Amino acid sequence: MSAPLARTVDVAVVGGGIVGCACALAARQAGLGVTLYEAQRVGAGVTAAGMGHLVVIDEDPAEFALARLSMRLWREWSGWNAIERRTTGTLWIAETAAQHDAARAKLARLAAAGLRADWLDEQALRAAEPRLAHDLVGALRVPDDEVAYGPEMAARLAADLRRAGGRVEEMSPVAALTDDGLLLADGTRVGAGNVLLAAGCDSVRLWPGAAPLRLRPRKGQLAITDRYPGYIRHALVEMGYIDSAHGDADEAVAFNAQPRVSGQVLLGSTRSYRDSSAAVDAALLGRMVRRATRFLPDIGSLQMLRSWSGLRPATPDGRPLIGRIAAHASRPAGAASHWVASGHEGLGLTTATGTARLWLDLLLGREPSIDPAPYAPERSFGGTP
C-alpha cells in the first residue's frame, strides 16, 4: 500500500532554477498555495552557469514577444534594484557588409517595436569601445539590455516566495510525477492540484507525457578574468552569435564578452551537443578565446581566473515548452494537472518572468499575455532530432 499524502498544495513546482523560482513566485502572488522542490540548492543547475545577459533577442517573433514581456516584468519586480546588475547595453558587432545589413534590419525591427537602438559606425564604435579591433564595420547599440547575476536572481525570487508564504524545499529531489501530485525520492507523497515540471535538462527523466520530451543538453563554456574595471563598457556580441545560437551545429563558438559589476570580464561562449559532461573541454575553450582575440586583440594579456560549463536545455526549434502536458489516456478523471516550463536553452535568465506569466495565464484560464501556440508542449518539431 502506498504512503498517505504528506501534504496537499495547489501547485507543486519541480526545480528551483530561475524558471521554477519565477513560476513559483508568480503563482504564490496570484494567491495559490505553492511548494517548490529542488534536488540541490536553489539556482544550482544551469542557472548558476549562465552569462546573465538579459537581452531582447528579436529574430524569432515568438522569442521577441517572450523576451519583451519578460524584460518588462523583470523591471517591475521588487528585487530588480537589489541584485547584482548593470545596464550595460549590448553592442552587436558587424565584421562584414552582410552583417552590417543584418544589423540594420535588426535595428529596424527593434525600432518598429518601440525599443531604443542606434547604429555606430567604425569611428563611433572605436570611441565607444577603444579596445575593440580597428577593422570592424560598426555595431548596433541596444542601450537598455542588462548584465545580471543569475544565481542571485534565483535566490532572491525564492526568498520572495518564502516571504509571500510559499515553501521552498531544498535538497528534496522529486522521484516522479504522479496522478495525485508527486513522489519525493525519500518516499513522501505530496498531493497537488497542479504540478509544474521546471527541472531544466532533468525534465526529460521526470517527463510524464504520452509523447517523448524532445529536449537535449547543449553544453556551454565560459571563462572569467581578474578585475580590470573599464576594460570594456558594454556587453559585446558578434553578429554571428545569432547564427550560432539558432543553428543546430554539433559544435560552435561565438564571441560574447561582458563587463561585470566586479570589474571582471566574462567571456563566452561555446555550444556543443557532443558532450554532456561537466568537464571543461580545453580545446573548445581555446577556440573560444582565439575567437575573442579577433575582436579584443589584447584579451590574451588578461589573467583568466576560472572557466566552467553548463548544460542548456535545448528543444529542436530553440523555444521553451510552456503549457499543459498532454496526459496518457489512462490517467484517472480528477488527476493532478501536469505542466511544463523547460527548454529555455541560452535565454532562460532573460525569459523566466515571461514564462511564469504565460504559464500562470494558462493555469488560471486568463487571456494569455502573449500567443501560447509557439510554446505549446505538443507542438510539432517536424523531422529534426
Residues within the interface to ligand FAD (CB under 6 A): 14-20, 37-40, 44-47, 49-53, 150, 173-174, 198-200, 202, 206, 220, 222, 268-269, 310, 312-313, 342, 344-350
Q: What is the DSSP string of 248-271?
A: --SEEEEEEEEE-TTSEEEEEEEE
- 243, 26 contact by CB (below 8 A): no
In the bound complex, what is the minimum distance in angstroms from residue 367's beta carbon to ligand FAD? Answer: 25
- 313, 342 contact by CB (below 8 A): yes
Helix (H, G, I), strand (E, B) or coil at 152: helix
What are the residues whose beta carbons fall under 8 Å from the beta carbon of 194, sequence distance 6 or more? 10, 11, 12, 336, 337, 338, 339, 363
In the bound complex, what is the minimum distance in angstroms from residue 200's beta carbon to ligand FAD? Answer: 3
38 versus 95: smaller Cβ distance to ligand FAD: 38
193 versus 318: smaller Cβ distance to ligand FAD: 318
Instruction: Tally Cβ neighbours within 10 Å of residue 166.
Output: 22
Tell me the residue number closest to ligand FAD, measured at CB: 17
In the bound complex, what is the minimum distance in angstroms from residue 118's beta carbon to ligand FAD? Answer: 22
Backbone angles phi, psi at 225, to 5 degrees: -95, 175
What are the residues whose beta carbons fall under 8 Å from the beta carbon of 157, sequence distance 6 or more? 18, 21, 22, 24, 25, 79
Say which residue the cell 532573460 belongs to.
350
174 versus 302: smaller Cβ distance to ligand FAD: 174
In the bound complex, what is the minimum distance in angstroms from residue 12's beta carbon to ligand FAD? Answer: 10
47 versus 99: smaller Cβ distance to ligand FAD: 47
In the bound complex, what is the minimum distance in angstroms from residue 77's beta carbon to ligand FAD? Answer: 15
88 versus 99: smaller Cβ distance to ligand FAD: 88
In the bound complex, what is the minimum distance in angstroms from residue 342's beta carbon to ligand FAD? Answer: 6
51 versus 140: smaller Cβ distance to ligand FAD: 51
What one-letter code names the amino acid at 370? I
